[in-house]
Chains A and B, each alone.
Chain A
Amino acid sequence: MTVPRPLASPPAAAAPPRWFRLPLAGKFAVAFVGLVSLVLLINGAVDLTLNYQDAKRTAIETQRTKARAAAERVDAFLSSIESQIGWTTRAEWRRVSPEQQRYDFIRLLRQAPAITEVAYLDPAGKEQLRVSRLEPDAVASGKDFSASPRFTQALAQKTWFGPVYFRRGSEPYMTVSVAHAGRDPGVTVAEVNLKLIWDVVSAINVGEHGYAFVTTATGRLIAHPDLSLVLRDTDLSGLPEVAAALPGSRMAGQDYEITTGLDGGWVLAAHATIPRVDWIVFVQESLRDAMGPALESVIQTTSLMGLGVLLAAVAGTFLARRMVVPIRELEDGAERFGAGDLSERIVIRTGDEIETLAHRFNTMASRVQESYETLEAKVEERTRDLNQSLDDLQRAQSRLVQSEKLASLGQLTAGIAHEIKNPLNFVNNFASLSNELVDELREVLEPTALDPDTRAEVEELAGLLKGNLEKVVQHGKRADSIVKNMLLHSRTGSGEHREVEVNALVEESLNLAYHGARAARPGFNVTLVRDYDPAAGLADLYPQEITRVLLNLMSNGFYATEKRAAEGEPGYAPTLSVTTRDRGDSVEIRVRDNGTGIPDGVKAKMFDPFFTTKPAGEGTGLGLSLSHDILVKQHGGTVDVATEPGAFTEFIISLPRQSVTPAAPPRPAAEPASETESQP
């Protein structure tokens, strides 16, 4: 979703600005880095400004302090000379012996190496003594200095520092005269070699490459760590910082200057004046050294800033990736879910909202999956139900079809039977009548004398006739029974229903069947097994109909055992077992024989009307069909058959205790009429 897709949005349409089409990681990183950089930049800029200003102020202040210290040291040099001269200026000094005075001067020269020459001017301004390092001592030379400033100024100011002059154009000298104490004083005049300030100036420590130098008020160099510059009689008034410091300059108020130094390159110069000699002491340091801290702070701040931005970039990228990777996973997961793959879960362990979101997605997926499963189960259930319904429907349909078939057949049969019964009654009746007539004929012939042969022949014919007639009667009765059965079949359900003791009913039917079978076939033998459930109890049935069914089934069983016995299987014990069981709302009756069983081909058709396996004349093919109708249609029960050819056949009947449908199948209406018709 965040991955840029060139085709995602048409460029023509109001496309979002490029910024918005950046991937989330990019946006996040840009935002993060941008924010951090902004903060760092602001902080850096503020810090830089403050630091720079601070460092500059500090540097200038330091420089200024150094200048003042340097001025103090140069001043101390002058003061030391003044104080050295001082002990020749006592009030009583002029009264000491000339020898002593000379000795004092020599000592002064030895004490103060900068003093090259020292002289004593008496109160009148005449030179009384001069001691020099180079020249012979002059005693009472009497040179008149009374008008010279070294005398007048010293008297006026107590101490006078003369202007700087250069001996032989090279060595800087200065005259220092100190008036003696007391009234009407003399003056001690010393010529000071300013070269010696070099010791002071070169000892002043101004940074690593900085130095101090001293100029006169006109910019002439007096002292410099490089003595040769001084001896060269250098005029520095052209140097910017000196020019700025000279009296009357427009920059007079400011005691520092950032400018180019003697050797080129930027310097930070500060100066301080020594008022009593009008000298200016400069200290200067290359700007880089002086502003070193400021530069350092700039470098430091800049590098910190760079580092910060770099860190921010790294951290931003890292965080963005960390954030985006789970989101991508989430996206993939969502896509998977969307595609219907609910088996996998999104695994995100970030411990934040994204993880929560992933959990929500997973929960959603689980819910959807659960819903699917429930739905499938329901569909299965419904399908099963539907199948069940379909089965039921089909069964009902087939039953209906069967019923309809049977009903129409029943109607047909009833009609036909009715029509057949009348002629059949005629045949039977008249055959019986004829039989009796044959007997009457024989009685008629009895008294008559007939030759034996004829008699024998008549007797034989009468016998034959009687035999034939009996056969007609016999088969007529059989036909009658068939018709009667057919009528029964079509009529279905006779008598009225009532509460019946099931076990008793079954036992009665069994006895009837057994004796019937015995009566029909004298050699018949079978083992009867009874297994009655005492709890079988009562059921609301049509007893006649059920008896018919049971008789039918039992006689079928007997027939099957008999048939199997006829096969001469050794050790075969024909057995018929009858069982009743209480099944709660229904009663179960089982009739089982160990006869020939029913082949599969027969099983499908055995409930069809007129289907029989018995030889012609032995069965009507309506027994089972009728039984089925009675059990299923009349009583709402079921009949099932379990069989194995050559082993057994078992009919299982299940009858509801309150099964009798109020609307019993309509009995064929024609029957009573036919009965009446059949009885001529």
Chain B
Amino acid sequence: MVSRSSLHYGPSIDRGGRAEARGPLRAAGPRAGMWRDGRMRRRTVLAGLPLALAGWPRAARAQAQAHVGALWPFAEGDPEGRVLAEAFHAGLRDHGQPDQRVDDRWTGADRERARLLATELVAAQPQVIFAYLSAQLTAVASLTKQIPIVFVGASNPVRFGYVESLQRPGGNITGFTLYEAPLGGKWVAALKEAVPSLRRVTLLSNLSTEIRGENLYAEPFRTTATALGIEPVVVKIDEAAAIEPIVADLARQGDGGLIVAPGTFSEANGDQIVALTTSLRVPAVFAIRRFAYRGGLMSYGPDPVETVHRAAAYVGRILRGENPATLPVQAPTKFDFIVNLKAARSMGVTISSALLAQADEIVE
């Protein structure tokens, strides 16, 4: 994030600013430098003292029992899961917890298994639980109100009732959202632009994105689709077998498109959807970016790796004693539009140059 932003602002500004910020220190002359060195040395000693006195027993205790539990909606060995888990571990390392033991639990898409592993996890009494995506958060949140939970991906946690408000979660749960409701419209618009002949579109919803029977993205999805003269359909599916008829139906009707909402189900069955849509030539927009790389036509969504990395910082802060109730829930700031030209060609979809110009990343 930092490196990217520095690209946006331009290296010259950044460096210039930094040089300015350091200028006064240098201007203070060699004497100031000398003081600073001396001070640093002394501080190192002073800082080391309490650590040496009190640090190691605590560290030993942490070794013995303190650990972080992580629930992942992937099968063990899943490449995406590995990448994200690695990002999480790296994030912990980067945020002052270099030796933190992480108990990674791989639930897959199975809700029962998720509940089981969540129970185990809570029973192990970790210091912090990290939950990736809503299903995992749901599985854990109901089990404990004491162990701090940091989540990534639970869209609109206020409405889900996990937090009181975004700025002051107020309980043991805080984290980072990945998607926002208006994206429902964004996906439709993107699909319409890629396939101007689009007349009907189906939003593939699943349980984890539903709140009280209503899909989070349905409202903006319907609004935008209607505005664009497209017939919107929201389909809630719960098992992989149900995908095929929907895609096939779309293909049969013609001029149809598919929008794959985020969620545990989509994570688990994305590859299958990609295969179906490709073979049946149904243009699809994925909320999860990796499926654009795996053969999906397009994706528009945040980079979860970056978000997981930032969530690790929250875990680190909670481990250092901060209260999750006061750590605000953070929303994503950046969404990437990825277009897979190869998939487009194989589907016979011609991507306009205007759309290509919008793309942040292009897969060829």
Report which A residues bind B (CB closer than 8 A): 58, 61-62, 65-66, 69-70, 72-73, 76-77, 80, 99, 102-103, 106-107, 110-114, 116, 132-137, 166, 168-171, 193, 195-196, 199-200, 203-206, 208, 227-228, 231-233, 289, 292-293, 296
Q: Is the CB of B28 within 8 A of A58?
A: yes
Q: Please state if A76 and B17 are interface contacts (CB–CB under 8 Å).
A: yes
Segment at the interface with A among B84-92, B177-185, B202-210: B177-185
List, in ascending order, chain B residues with CB within 8 A of A103's CB.
354, 357-358
Interface of B is mostly: helix
Cβ-defined contact, A113 with B25, below 8 A: no
B196 CB within 8 Å of chain A: no
Residue of B nearest to A58 (CB): B28
Contact B167 A233 (CB under 8 A): yes
Leading 9 A-B pairs by shortest Cβ distance: A231-B328, A136-B189, A65-B24, A170-B166, A136-B185, A293-B35, A134-B182, A73-B17, A170-B167
Q: A69-B20, A169-B166, A170-B167 are in contact. Are A228 and B333 (CB under 8 A)?
A: no
Specify which of B2, B167, B220, B326 is in contact with A135 (CB 8 Å cutoff). Answer: B220
Q: A77 and B357: CB pair below 8 A?
A: no
User: Which of B38-46, B146-154, B287-295 lies on the face that meets chain A?
Assistant: B38-46
* Chain A contacts for B17, CB-based, 8 A: 69, 72-73, 76, 200, 203-204
In the assembled complex, B95 has its CB within 8 A of some CB on chain A: no
Interface segment among B7-15, B62-70, B108-116, B250-258: the answer is B7-15
Which residues of chain A come closer than 8 Å to B39, judged between CB atoms?
289, 292, 296
Contact A113 to B5, CB < 8 A, known contacts A134-B335, A293-B32: yes
A520 to B249, CA, bound (A): 211
Chain A residues positioned under 8 Å from B185 (CB to CB): 135-136
Bound Cα distance A401, B189 (Å):
176
Q: Is the CB of A106 within 8 A of B358?
A: yes
In the complex, A110→B358 CA distance in Å? 9
Q: Given A80-B13, A293-B32, A296-B39, are A135 and B182 neighbors across the interface (CB < 8 Å)?
A: yes
Are A136 and B20 neighbours in the complex by a CB distance under 8 Å? no
Q: Is the C-beta of B21 less than 8 angstroms from some C-beta in chain A?
A: yes
- Are A106's CB and B357's CB within 8 A? yes
- B residues near A80, Cβ cutoff 8 Å: 9-10, 13
- Closest-by-CB residue of B relative to A169 is B167
- Contact status A170-B354, CB under 8 Å: no
How many angstroms between the C-alpha atoms of A135 and B300 in the bound complex?
Answer: 12
Nearest B-chain residue to A72, judged by Cβ = B20
Specify which chain A residues have a CB less than 8 angstroms from the CB of B18 in the assembled complex.
203, 205
Identify which of residues 177-200 in chain B touch chain A, using a CB-to-CB cut-off of 8 Å: 180, 182-183, 185-186, 188-189
29 contacts between A and B (CB under 8 A): A69-B17, A69-B21, A73-B17, A76-B17, A80-B9, A110-B360, A111-B8, A133-B334, A135-B185, A135-B186, A136-B182, A136-B186, A136-B224, A137-B189, A170-B165, A170-B166, A171-B331, A199-B5, A199-B9, A200-B17, A203-B17, A203-B21, A208-B43, A227-B328, A227-B330, A228-B326, A231-B167, A292-B39, A293-B31
Whole-angstrom CA separation of A70 from B328 in the bound complex:
25
Q: Is the CB of B354 within 8 A of A228?
A: no
Total chain B interface residues with beta-carbon distance under 8 A: 54
The 8 A CB mask of B215-233 against A (1 = contact, 0 = none) is 0000010001001000000
Contact A204 B357 (CB under 8 A): no
Q: How far is the CB of A295 from chain B (nearest CB, A)?
A: 9
Task: Please indicate the chain B residues that have their CB under 8 angstroms from the CB of A106 in the complex.
Answer: 357-358
Q: Are B25 and A62 in contact (CB under 8 A)?
A: yes
- Decide yes or no whether B36 CB sits under 8 A from chain A: yes
> Is B165's CB under 8 angstroms from A228's CB?
no
Task: Kindly state whether residue B327 has any CB partner on chain A within 8 Å.
Answer: yes
Q: In the assembled complex, how far is the CB of residue A527 from the closest CB belonging to chain B, in whole angstroms? A: 127
Q: Contact check, A203 vs B14: say whether CB atoms are below 8 A apart.
A: yes
Given contacts A66-B21, A106-B357, A133-B334, contact A228 B328 (CB under 8 A): yes
Q: How far is the CA of A114 from the CA of B334 in the complex (A)?
A: 9
Task: From known contacts A66-B21, A170-B166, A170-B329, infer whether A134 and B357 are also in contact, taking CB-CB under 8 Å.
Answer: no
Task: Report yes or no: B13 in contact with A76, Cβ–Cβ below 8 A.
Answer: yes
Of the residues B24, B182, B330, contact of A231 by C-beta under 8 Å: B330
Q: Which A-chain residue is minimally distant from B186 (CB atoms)? A: A136
Beta-carbon nearest neighbor of B327 in chain A: A228
Given A69-B21, A135-B186, A293-B35; 20 other pairs, CB 8 A cutoff: A58-B28, A61-B24, A80-B9, A103-B357, A113-B4, A134-B183, A135-B185, A136-B185, A136-B186, A170-B329, A170-B331, A195-B333, A203-B18, A204-B17, A204-B21, A231-B166, A231-B329, A232-B168, A232-B326, A292-B39
In whole angstroms, how far apart are the Cα atoms of A76 and B5 in the complex? Answer: 14
Task: Say whether B23 faces chain A, with CB atoms less than 8 Å apart.
Answer: yes
Q: How far is the CA of A204 from the CA of B19 in the complex (A)?
A: 10
Complex CA–CA separation, A599 to B196 (angstroms): 185
Q: Is the CB of B333 within 8 A of A134?
A: no
Chain B residues in 8 Å Cβ range of A69: 17, 20-21, 23-24
Q: How far is the CA of A112 from the CA of B4 in the complex (A)?
A: 11
B22 at the interface (CB under 8 A from A): yes
Q: Mark B272-291, 1 if CB is under 8 A from A, else 0.
A: 00000000000000000000
In the complex, what residues of B have CB within 8 A of residue A168's CB? 166, 331
Collect the chain B residues with CB atoms within 8 Å of residue A196's CB: 5, 333
B154 to chain A: closest CB distance in Å?
Answer: 15
- Contact B357–A296 (Cβ < 8 Å): no
Known: A106-B357, A232-B168. A70 touches B182 (CB 8 A): no
A110 to B168, CA, bound (A): 31
Contact between B24 and A66 (Cβ–Cβ < 8 Å)?
A: yes
Which residues of chain B have C-beta atoms less than 8 A from A231's C-beta? 166-167, 328-330
Nearest Cβ distance between residue A79 and chain B, in whole angstroms? Answer: 9
Known contacts A200-B17, A232-B326, A296 near B333 by CB under 8 Å: no
Chain A residues with CB under 8 Å of B31's CB are: 293
Which residues of chain B have C-beta atoms less than 8 A from A292's C-beta? 35-36, 39
Nearest opposing residue in chain B for A134, CB measure: B182
Given contacts A170-B328, A231-B167, contact A296 B35 (CB under 8 A): yes
When distances are taken between beta carbons in the complex, the residues of chain A under 8 Å from B334 are 113, 133
CA A227 to CA B333, docked complex, whole Å:
13
B354→A73 contact, CB < 8 A: no
A166–B6 CA distance with the chains assembled, in angstroms: 25
| Interface membership of chain B positions 321-347, coded 1 if the CB is closer than 8 angstroms to chain A and 0 otherwise | 000001111110111000000000000
Q: Is the CB of B20 within 8 A of A73?
A: yes
Residue of A whose beta carbon sits closest to that of B29 = A58
The distance in angstroms between the C-alpha atoms of A52 and B22, with both chains bound, is: 23
List A contacts of B331 (CB < 8 A).
168, 170-171
Measured CB to CB, the closest approach of chain A to B65, in angstroms, equals: 27
Q: Which residues of A contact B227 (CB under 8 A)?
A: 136
Q: Is the pair B21, A205 in contact by a Cβ cutoff of 8 Å?
A: yes
Q: What residue in chain A is nearest B32 (Cβ atoms)?
A: A293
Roughly how many angstroms separate A66 CA and B334 CA in the complex, as a whole number? 31
**How far is the CB of A235 from the nearest CB of chain B, in Å?**
12
B66 CB, min distance to chain A CBs, angstroms: 22
What is the CA–CA distance of A168 and B156 in the complex, to the nearest angstrom?
11
Q: Report the minimal beta-carbon distance from B315 to chain A, rounded to whole angstroms.
A: 13
Q: How far is the CB of A130 from chain B (nearest CB, A)?
A: 12
Q: Smallest distance from the beta carbon of A362 to chain B beta carbons, Å?
A: 58
> Is the pair A113, B328 in contact by a Cβ cutoff of 8 Å?
no
Which residues does chain A contribute within 8 Å of B166, judged by CB atoms?
168-170, 231
| B28 to A: closest C-beta gap in Å | 6
B126 to chain A, nearest CB (A): 22
Asked if B2 and A136 make an inter-chain contact with CB atoms under 8 angstroms apart, the answer reads no
Q: CB-CB < 8 A to A232: which residues of B?
A: 167-168, 326, 328
Contact in complex: B357, A107 (CB < 8 Å) = yes
Q: What's the Cα separation between A61 and B23 when bound, in Å?
A: 12
Bound together, the chains give a CA A106 to CA B168 distance in angstroms of 33
Contact B357 A136 (CB under 8 A): no
